[in-house]
């Protein structure tokens, strides 16, 4: 619902034609049922699949079949839905994702390399009661954006000077596995006089070396997350730009940087860092990361169990650090008008279909361990939080096997890497942090699955795991 015409007219006739645009927009935000949901996740955590599946199920929610725990839908109060994304300059490629999942053999959507947006309109019948005074029907507009997870990790850089950033990176590169993987690159830094005259090609060479180091750290066996600057890994339209010839100084930090030659590497890097923050990170933040009302934080816990303790610690630090970039707190009516804050956060462990149903509770618990610090900070701000294991798109089905006369819960599906059909017992998810020897013992080997074909017609509850509970928690009170 946009600002009612009558009220808009009143505002214009009231002798206050110069009301600041921001205030007018704030009024509009307050009056309309518009929700901006932040879908936050590191790279490969499952954002694109989540957004595709969420949108697809919600667009069918007027048929009320696939989301039994989403109360407004199961009560039959969603009376119509519409995808309004085509109005955006960068629409989310929903149809493309769905087509890939509906073809034979189906495939997962391509990983996100740029920013895209989706806006859904859900028309619903209000619950009997006071709200009906505002009319029997209303519309909720839901806005979501998808973006590469790598870019998200740049947001914390906005609060750091070049020197602070370098010191932070120095601490990270002091321990395993970064220290070993970066030994070569670090030794190059020993030889550099940062304050002496230097050419741009010197900086480019070192930046190129750093870029390939980041790529290596992102891939198995390391699977690290806290890799900055993120655009070095996913440059999009900045590919080839000198803004990306950037890396931290972690050895030989100059004692008197004020004596740096204007062409020195120190001056070049400091300038590149400031330009990167102001021209790349800040616009991304200001255009897309403010004014959220609700948030879902997607976490791939099983990846950390497969990859080991260093990956777990790194992901935990990355999540805690980047959540500081969002505004949390109590959302009073006035606050919602002028400076909305996130007042409800769902932490979701994705890909719950990689484990058997009896392990979902353990996955909830393990997620809780990972986001403990972030959750504690949010609770202090009176933010409602919850942990939930879910699967946006269920790729496996339950099976039973007999071993030594005992029934064993198994999963059946197709391997993502080979397409081969397998039935396996994926193992248990620990509810406490594994001991050092367990991390290193190859105890956890959760397999990635290819998607099962999605029907072209109506969806059913079996196409996801607990997606409806996530929707009910995040949006249910708004209907
Ligand atoms: P993004 O980088 O955060 O956008 O991650 P994507 O949404 O592209 O997901 C990355 C990969 O995770 C996909 O290619 C799938 O292999 C896997 N994945 C994501 N969601 C699910 C899910 O619900 N179930 C299963 N089995 N795999 C998933």
Q: For the segment 8-56, what is each residue's pLDDT rounded down to a tens digit?
A: 333 333 334 445 555 555 554 445 588 999 999 998 999 999 999 999 9
Confidence of residue 334 (pLDDT cuts 50, 70, 90): low
pLDDT of residue 220: 92
Contact present, 422 and 413 (Cβ < 8 Å): yes
- Specify the pTM: 0.89
Which atom of ligand 1 is the closest one to the Cα of 451?
26
Could you tell me the residue range of the domain that residue 271 belongs to?
155-279
Structure tokens at 162: 């070049």
Number of residues that make up the chain: 479
Q: Is residue 389 part of a domain?
A: yes
Are both 333 and 464 inside the same structural domain?
yes
Please state, in angstroms and rounded to a whole number, the distance separating the CA atoms of residues 315 and 223. 9
Q: Is residue 104 part of a domain?
A: yes
Domain count, the chain: 2
DSSP state of 277: I
CB-ligand 1 contact for 208 (6 Å cutoff)? no
CB-ligand 1 contact for 44 (6 Å cutoff)? yes
Are both 133 and 206 inside the same structural domain?
no
CB-ligand 1 contact for 349 (6 Å cutoff)? no
Q: Is residue 113 part of a domain?
A: yes
Are both 57 and 171 inside the same structural domain?
no
Residue 116: its H or E element: strand 116-125
- Reported as a single tens digit per residue, the pLDDT across 177-235 is 999 999 999 999 988 999 999 999 999 999 999 999 999 999 999 999 999 999 999 99
Question: Of the residues 40, 41, 49, 220, which should be mutated to test ligand 1's pocket, given the most ligand atoms within 8 Å of the CB?
Answer: 49
Which atom of ligand 1 is the closest one to the Cα of 464?
23
Distance 364 CA to ligand 1 centre (A): 18
Q: Which residue's CA is the closest to the ligand 1 atom numbered 15?
A: 108
pLDDT higher than 90, residue 398 = yes
pLDDT of residue 333: 56
Measure the CA angle with vertex 237, ends 231 and 241; round to 5°: 70
Token match 């034979």: residue?
A: 104
* Lowest-pLDDT range of 361-370, 399-408, 427-436: 399-408
From the CB of residue 9, how many other CB atoms can be counted at a distance below 10 Å?
A: 10
Please state, in angstroms and rounded to a whole number, the distance separating the CA atoms of residues 189 and 253. 10
Are both 330 and 470 inside the same structural domain?
yes
CB-ligand 1 contact for 289 (6 Å cutoff)? no
CB-ligand 1 contact for 147 (6 Å cutoff)? no
Cα–chain center distance at 97:
18
Q: Is residue 438 part of a domain?
A: no
Please state, in angstroms and rounded to a whole number, the distance separating the CA atoms of residues 479 and 469. 15
CB-ligand 1 contact for 392 (6 Å cutoff)? yes
The mean pLDDT value of the chain amounts to: 89
Are both 473 and 383 inside the same structural domain?
yes
The β-bridge partners of 424 are 411
Residue (of 361, 353, 457) closest to 413 by Cα position: 353
Are both 252 and 353 inside the same structural domain?
no
pLDDT of residue 64: 72
- Reported as a single tens digit per residue, the pLDDT across 281-331 is 999 988 888 788 899 999 999 999 999 999 999 999 999 988 888 888 866
Contact present, 252 and 184 (Cβ < 8 Å): no
What is the average per-residue pLDDT within 99-122? 93
Q: Is residue 307 part of a domain?
A: yes
Distance 298 CA to ligand 1 centre (A): 10
Please state, in angstroms and rounded to a whole number, the distance separating the CA atoms of residues 106 and 49. 13
Distance 173 CA to ligand 1 centre (A): 29
DSSP state of 281: I
CB-ligand 1 contact for 446 (6 Å cutoff)? no
Q: Is residue 401 part of a domain?
A: no
Q: Is residue 199 part of a domain?
A: yes
Distance 258 CA to ligand 1 centre (A): 48
CB-ligand 1 contact for 45 (6 Å cutoff)? yes
Cα–chain center distance at 456:
27
Distance 44 CA to ligand 1 centre (A): 6
Residue (of 109, 117, 107, 110) closest to 147 by Cα position: 117
CB-ligand 1 contact for 352 (6 Å cutoff)? no
Percentage of the chain lying above the pLDDT 90 cut: 71
CB-ligand 1 contact for 53 (6 Å cutoff)? no
Q: Which residue has the higher pLDDT, 403 or 164?
A: 164
Q: Helix 360-370 to helix 309-323 angle, to the nearest 10 degrees?
A: 70
CB-ligand 1 contact for 49 (6 Å cutoff)? yes
Structure tokens at 388: 């939930």
């Amino acid at each position: 619902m946009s600002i009612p015409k009558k009220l808009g007219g009143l505002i214009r006739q009231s002798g206050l034609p110069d009301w600041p645009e921001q205030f007018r927009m704030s009024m509009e935000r307050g009056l309309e049922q518009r929700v901006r949901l932040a879908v936050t996740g590191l790279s490969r955590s499952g954002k694109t699949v989540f957004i595709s599946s969420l949108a697809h199920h919600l667009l069918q929610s007027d048929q009320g079949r696939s989301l039994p725990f989403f109360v407004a839908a199961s009560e039959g109060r969603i009376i119509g839905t519409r995808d309004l994304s085509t109005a955006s300059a960068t629409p989310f490629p929903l149809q493309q994702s769905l087509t890939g999942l509906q073809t034979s053999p189906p495939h997962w959507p391509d990983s996100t390399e740029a920013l895209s947006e989706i806006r859904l309109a859900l028309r619903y019948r209000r619950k009997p009661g006071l709200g009906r005074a505002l009319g029997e029907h209303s519309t909720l507009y839901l806005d979501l954006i998808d973006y590469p997870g790598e870019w998200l990790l740049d947001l914390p850089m906005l609060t750091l000077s070049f020197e602070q950033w370098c010191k932070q990176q120095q601490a990270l590169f002091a321990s395993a596995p970064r220290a070993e993987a970066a030994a070569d690159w670090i030794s190059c830094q020993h030889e550099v006089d940062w304050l002496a005259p230097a050419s741009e090609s010197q900086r480019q060479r070192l930046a190129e070396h750093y870029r390939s180091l980041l790529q290596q750290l992102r891939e198995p066996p390391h699977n690290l997350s806290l890799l900055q600057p993120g655009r070095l890994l996913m440059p999009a339209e900045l590919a080839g730009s000198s803004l990306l010839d950037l890396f931290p100084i972690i050895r030989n930090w100059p004692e008197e940087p004020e004596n740096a030659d204007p062409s020195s590497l120190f001056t070049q890097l400091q300038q590149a860092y400031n330009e990167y923050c102001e021209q790349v990170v800040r616009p991304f933040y200001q255009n897309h990361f403010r004014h959220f009302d609700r948030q879902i934080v997607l976490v791939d816990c099983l990846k950390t169990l497969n990859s080991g303790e260093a990956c777990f610690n790194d992901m935990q630090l990355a999540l805690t650090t980047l959540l500081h970039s969002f505004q949390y707190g109590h959302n009073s009516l006035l606050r919602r008008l002028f400076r909305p804050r996130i007042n409800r956060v769902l932490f979701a462990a994705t890909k719950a279909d990689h484990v058997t149903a009896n392990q979902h509770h353990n996955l909830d618990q393990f997620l809780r361990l990972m986001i403990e610090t972030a959750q504690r900070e949010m609770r202090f701000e009176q933010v409602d939080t919850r942990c939930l294991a879910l699967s946006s798109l269920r790729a496996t089905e339950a099976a039973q096997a007999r071993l030594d006369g005992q029934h064993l819960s198994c999963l059946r599906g197709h391997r993502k890497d080979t397409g081969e059909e397998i039935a396996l017992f994926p193992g248990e998810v620990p509810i406490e942090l594994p001991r050092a020897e367990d991390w290193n013992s190859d105890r956890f080997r959760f397999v990635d699955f290819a998607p099962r074909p999605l029907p072209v017609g109506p969806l059913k509850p079996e196409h996801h795991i607990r997606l409806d509970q996530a929707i009910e928690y995040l949006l249910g009170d708004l209907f």
